[in-house]
Chain A
Amino acid sequence: MSHPDQPTPRIVLKGIRKAYPSVVANDGIDLEVQPGEIHAVVGENGAGKSTLMKVIYGVTRPDAGEILWEGRPVRIHNPAQARELGIGMVFQHFSLFETLSVTQNVALAMPGPFDLVGLARRIVEVSERYGLPVDPHRLVHDLSVGERQRVEIIRCLLQSPRLLILDEPTSVLTPQAVRKLFETLRQLAAEGCSILYISHKLDEIQELCHKATVLRGGRVTGSCVPAQETPKTIARMMIGEDLPVFQHGEPTGGGEVRLRLENLSLVPEDPFGVVLRNVNLEVHSGEIVGIAGVSGNGQQELLWAISGEEPTREGESVQVCGVPAGRMDSSRRRSLGLCFVPEERLGRGAVPRLSLTENILLTAYRKGMLVLGLIRFGSARRFAEDCIKRFDVKCGGPDSEAKSLSGGNLQKFIVGREIMQNPKLLVLAQPTWGVDVGAASFIRRQLLDLRESGTAILVVSEELDELFEICDRLVVISKGCLSPPKVTSETGVEEIGVWMSGLWPGDAVGGSGEAPDVA
């Protein structure tokens, strides 16, 4: 893990400061990255990592400070200029146009002549070379989060950057895919490309990064060589205290069935969607069941079918608390005791331009917030205040618009809103995606508490560590089929990882062979 020592660093930041009306996001930040170095920037949500990266990428202009690019002082005014210099960035919130195809999206960021056919070919080349499979002709609209991220990465790689910024890149990848990505990144670094790697997965940083800079509250609170630290010591630098450790109690087990999927088969409206084949699953009260899988293997479709956003044809195929609910819409299923945290927060789990109070109403209105069809704003507001307090949502108060919250805080808000309704059955997609370590561990704690109180919980996540940490049983989804369940303590990351590529014993690959009224 050495990098070539060269006299001029690729980029040097000196005293970068950026203040927003309500918060100082960056306060005198110094950073230095050498050619071929993989440099981690770690910190909790709101520590100022994203702002710093936006400064480097020319999205935001700093109030003070200096940037030296390969020894020369530069002012980066916009992303196009940043790309000209050789800086590429993969955002945590994707910057893709949903109605355009992958190739068209990539073309938008490319200088030079507009050649879609040639570009599509190059996309395939790069995607094969770096193990990032994606079909250049599909519309972004139909891609899963994981696939969208691949497009973003490919878009950067096509421009042969000399500094690549990655914001939380592994949150949606399988362990194997993370391996693959790390190989890619190491290969890039060996070719001389510098990499700024933003993450709060400390084990990854340890494995991958040569150096790390830790931010807290907009300032640099430490820098280290990750290989010489432990996750614990880095975490302490990040949050200023030790992480809480929690015990995973024994599954109470044997509770009543709260969710039953019975031969659920579904052809989605979307022609690029994944067909669900003969999915069978039971979730009992007092247990947490996890669904592992690489994104784009039917998770979205399965969640739509469970939540009721895409009702199925047979009522029996989805049963909520013993009631055939397949043909019900999501509102009626919620009346049966189902609560649901979707993968997309803004625009699905919350309405961007409405206040937090109004966003509480979206699903929690059953909790005494309506009288004769009129809204009791007072009670919605109290619920919002409770939720903000209990889940430590950093925001301006219950009147803030949902879109003014950072991704992690909005996630805490939505998870809080659903948990506080005391559901009989709680379904969560990516419950801690983009949430910092402290908050993620808090959310997991809440889920375990909820389990103790008898709620049945289904977690769909692409983070295996998380699933192993909280789930009693695991199933794997691959190509629209569900593996048999496995008790968590009787399996391991390796086995589940293999299952995630569709190879599980018994009635394995591609389901049981007969797939009624699909195919």
Chain B
Amino acid sequence: MWLRIEPRPEPSRLMRYLSPLLAVALMLTCGMVLFKVLGKSPVEGFKVFFLQPMADRYGVAELFLKATPLMLCAVGLSVGFRGNVWNIGAEGQLLMGALAGGGLALHFPASQSPFLLPAMFVAGALGGMLWAAIPAWLRTRFNANEILTSLMLVYIAELVVSWLVHGPWKDPDGFNFPQTRLFQAKAIIPVLVEGTRVNAALLVAIGALVVGWIFMNRSFLGYQMKVSGQAERAGRYAGFSARRTVWLGMLVGGCCAGLAGVSEVAGPIGQITEHISPGYGFAAMIVAFVGRLEPVGIFFASLLMALLYMGGEQAQQYLSLPYSISKVFQGLLLFFLLGSDVFIHFRLRLVRGRK
């Protein structure tokens, strides 16, 4: 008796939605084993990593706070991914959005205008879009692969941030720390629940999910992107512009990532530092796929991913494990998801006898 992988006659709908759950279960199992190997009690490890962060009101609020940039980036990316536009550079677009929005806050240190914060979000969106426009232009003009160019631009963005906070934008009264002045009160996103850090950017993110859902499922533009992504020749036959698909996919991704950047610097951080994002732009790709490129799925997947981030912090504190443990969990999740996704199109069959 042996197992054989054979193609399914129809892709399995059930498996499409079961696969992320299976991946989470496998990630947890593997995580337990990992704790055991590292000499920690798996039960204790599970508690610290996955339950403790959500133990109180503050913890739950933190969860939503961390999920906010993930939701924003992931919904923007999935618009592109559905159209076969592979924007890998959300992290860089997030940083440029943070610089554009944060730069506005720094430029008007005394403004009392209620429009400052909205203007920062607009600037952030434009900053992200500008950064995303470079790979879009390179792709449509020179047919340069956007996977490579958008990724390379992440490192350029990181260096630009680093240069600004070490140089021109450094806080003169900051004891030479590489960071800007703290933003003034009018440039900080209001907190939603008193006593926690969760802020109104969450509403922006949920708004983005709703708009994203309408765009992807109900709008003709979203439909055109889907067609171009799935069958380029059909798109050309119908007269849908392939260039527009690339531009839209990149710009929407950049816009959302830019908003995420503002939500961080004008939210929990309150200034621009060298460490704006602990890899939200990259983690958002995992979120997008775990969430099946659908806004509802992305909502839950971003909470899960936020939990992994918080669990990593907790594990550092209580289990004296390195913070990179949360990256290991992220990797496991993606790995198992890709593995489980195979069974959407294939199935295992037990075959008796003859090899």
Closest B-chain residue to A304, C-beta based? Answer: B236
Which of B202-210, B214-222, B292-300 is found at the contact surface with chain A?
B214-222
Q: Which of A340-371 contact B (CB under 8 A)?
A: 340, 342, 344, 347-354, 358, 361-363, 365, 370
Min distance, Cβ B243 to any Cβ of chain A, angstroms: 11
A1 beta carbon closer than 8 Å to chain B: no
B10 beta carbon closer than 8 Å to chain A: yes
B233 beta carbon closer than 8 Å to chain A: yes
Closest B-chain residue to A346, C-beta based? Answer: B231
B223 beta carbon closer than 8 Å to chain A: yes
Q: In the bound complex, what is the Cα–Cα distance between A57 and B221 (angstroms)?
A: 44
B353 beta carbon closer than 8 Å to chain A: no
Min distance, Cβ A190 to any Cβ of chain B, angstroms: 39
User: Which residues of B lie under 8 Å from residue A354 when comparing CB positions?
Assistant: 226-227, 230
A252 beta carbon closer than 8 Å to chain B: no
Most chain B CB inside 10 Å of its own CB: which residue of A308, A330, A358, A370: A330
B282 beta carbon closer than 8 Å to chain A: no
Q: Would you call A375 and B234 a contact (CB within 8 A)? A: no
User: Which residues of A lie under 8 Å from residue B221 when comparing CB positions?
Assistant: 373
Q: In the bound complex, what is the Cα–Cα distance between A373 and B236 (angstroms)?
A: 20
Most chain A CB inside 10 Å of its own CB: which residue of B226, B233, B239, B241: B239
Min distance, Cβ A273 to any Cβ of chain B, angstroms: 15
A245 beta carbon closer than 8 Å to chain B: no
A230 beta carbon closer than 8 Å to chain B: no
Q: Would you call A375 and B223 a contact (CB within 8 A)? A: yes
With A352-B231, A375-B218 in contact, is A309–B237 under 8 Å at CB?
Answer: yes
B238 beta carbon closer than 8 Å to chain A: yes
Q: Would you call A373 and B220 a contact (CB within 8 A)? A: yes
B346 beta carbon closer than 8 Å to chain A: no
Closest B-chain residue to A374, C-beta based? Answer: B218
Most chain B CB inside 10 Å of its own CB: which residue of A334, A370, A375: A375
Q: Would you call B233 and A362 a contact (CB within 8 A)? A: no
Q: In the bound complex, what is the Cα–Cα distance between A348 and B234 (angstroms)?
A: 4
Q: In the bound complex, what is the Cα–Cα distance between A350 and B227 (angstroms)?
A: 9
Q: Would you call A362 and B234 a contact (CB within 8 A)? A: yes
Min distance, Cβ A358 to any Cβ of chain B, angstroms: 7
Q: Would you call B219 and A363 a contact (CB within 8 A)? A: no
Name the one of B10, B226, B234 contacting A349, with C-beta atoms under 8 angstroms.
B234
Q: Which of A38-79 contact B (CB under 8 A)?
A: none
Closest B-chain residue to A377, C-beta based? Answer: B218
Name the one of A330, A333, A352, A373 contacting B219, with C-beta atoms under 8 angstroms.
A373
Q: Would you call A332 and B239 a contact (CB within 8 A)? A: yes
Interface 1/0 per residue, B311-334 and A, CB below 8 Å:
000000000000000000000000
Min distance, Cβ A396 to any Cβ of chain B, angstroms: 11
Q: In the bound complex, what is the Cα–Cα distance between A121 and B214 (angstroms)?
A: 57
Name the one of B218, B230, B234, B240 contacting A331, with C-beta atoms under 8 angstroms.
B240
Q: In the bound complex, what is the Cα–Cα distance between A349 and B237 (angstroms)?
A: 7
Closest A-chain residue to B238, C-beta based? Answer: A362
Closest A-chain residue to B214, C-beta based? Answer: A374
Q: Would you call B230 and A351 a contact (CB within 8 A)? A: yes
Closest A-chain residue to B233, C-beta based? Answer: A348
Q: Would you call A334 and B220 a contact (CB within 8 A)? A: no
A213 beta carbon closer than 8 Å to chain B: no
A282 beta carbon closer than 8 Å to chain B: no
Closest B-chain residue to A365, C-beta based? Answer: B220
Closest B-chain residue to A369, C-beta based? Answer: B220
Q: Which of B244-274 contact A (CB under 8 A)?
A: none
Q: In the bound complex, what is the Cα–Cα distance between A476 and B191 (angstroms)?
A: 74
Q: Would you call A375 and B220 a contact (CB within 8 A)? A: yes
Q: Would you call A353 and B230 a contact (CB within 8 A)? A: yes
A319 beta carbon closer than 8 Å to chain B: no
Closest B-chain residue to A353, C-beta based? Answer: B230
Most chain A CB inside 10 Å of its own CB: which residue of B10, B231, B236, B238: B238
Q: Would you call A333 and B239 a contact (CB within 8 A)? A: yes
A329 beta carbon closer than 8 Å to chain B: yes
Q: Would you call A329 and B234 a contact (CB within 8 A)? A: no
Q: In the bound complex, what is the Cα–Cα distance between A329 and B237 (angstroms)?
A: 9
Name the one of A331, A351, A375 contacting B239, with C-beta atoms under 8 angstroms.
A331
Q: In the bound complex, what is the Cα–Cα distance between A344 and B10 (angstroms)?
A: 22
Q: Would you call B10 and A307 a contact (CB within 8 A)? A: no
Q: In the bound complex, what is the Cα–Cα distance between A334 and B240 (angstroms)?
A: 12
Q: Would you call B233 and A330 a contact (CB within 8 A)? A: no
Min distance, Cβ A80 to any Cβ of chain B, angstroms: 15
User: Which residues of B lie under 8 Å from residue A333 when comparing CB positions?
Assistant: 239
Q: Would you call A344 and B233 a contact (CB within 8 A)? A: yes
With A333-B239, A374-B218, A404-B10 in contact, is A361–B234 under 8 Å at CB?
Answer: no
Q: In the bound complex, what is the Cα–Cα distance between A375 and B227 (angstroms)?
A: 14
Name the one of A330, A350, A363, A375 contacting B236, with C-beta atoms under 8 angstroms.
A330
With A329-B241, A352-B231 in contact, is A309–B223 under 8 Å at CB?
Answer: no
Min distance, Cβ A409 to any Cβ of chain B, angstroms: 17
User: Which residues of A lie under 8 Å from residue B10 when comparing CB positions?
Assistant: 404
With A365-B220, A375-B223, A404-B10 in contact, is A350–B239 under 8 Å at CB?
Answer: no
Q: In the bound complex, what is the Cα–Cα distance between A404 and B9 (angstroms)?
A: 10
Q: Would you call B220 and A330 a contact (CB within 8 A)? A: no
Min distance, Cβ A428 to any Cβ of chain B, angstroms: 13
Q: Would you call B227 and A362 a contact (CB within 8 A)? A: yes
Min distance, Cβ B119 to any Cβ of chain A, angstroms: 27
Q: In the bound complex, what is the Cα–Cα distance between A351 and B240 (angstroms)?
A: 13
Q: In the bound complex, what is the Cα–Cα distance between A404 and B11 (angstroms)?
A: 11
With A347-B231, A351-B231, A362-B227 in contact, is A370–B220 under 8 Å at CB?
Answer: yes
Q: Would you call B231 and A340 a contact (CB within 8 A)? A: no
Q: Would you call B234 and A347 a contact (CB within 8 A)? A: yes
Chain B contact residues, CB within 8 Å of chain A:
10, 214, 218-221, 223, 226-227, 230-231, 233-234, 236-241
Chain A contact residues, CB within 8 Å of chain B:
307-309, 329-334, 340, 342, 344, 347-354, 358, 361-363, 365, 370, 373-375, 404
Q: Which A-B residue pairs are the 3 nearest by beta carbons? A: A331-B239, A330-B239, A348-B233
* A-B CB contact pairs (8 Å), 17 listed: A330-B236, A331-B238, A348-B237, A349-B234, A351-B227, A351-B230, A351-B231, A351-B234, A353-B230, A362-B227, A362-B234, A362-B237, A363-B238, A365-B220, A375-B218, A375-B219, A375-B223
Q: A344-B233, A350-B234, A354-B227 are in contact. List 4 more A-B contacts (CB 8 A).
A: A331-B240, A354-B230, A370-B220, A374-B214
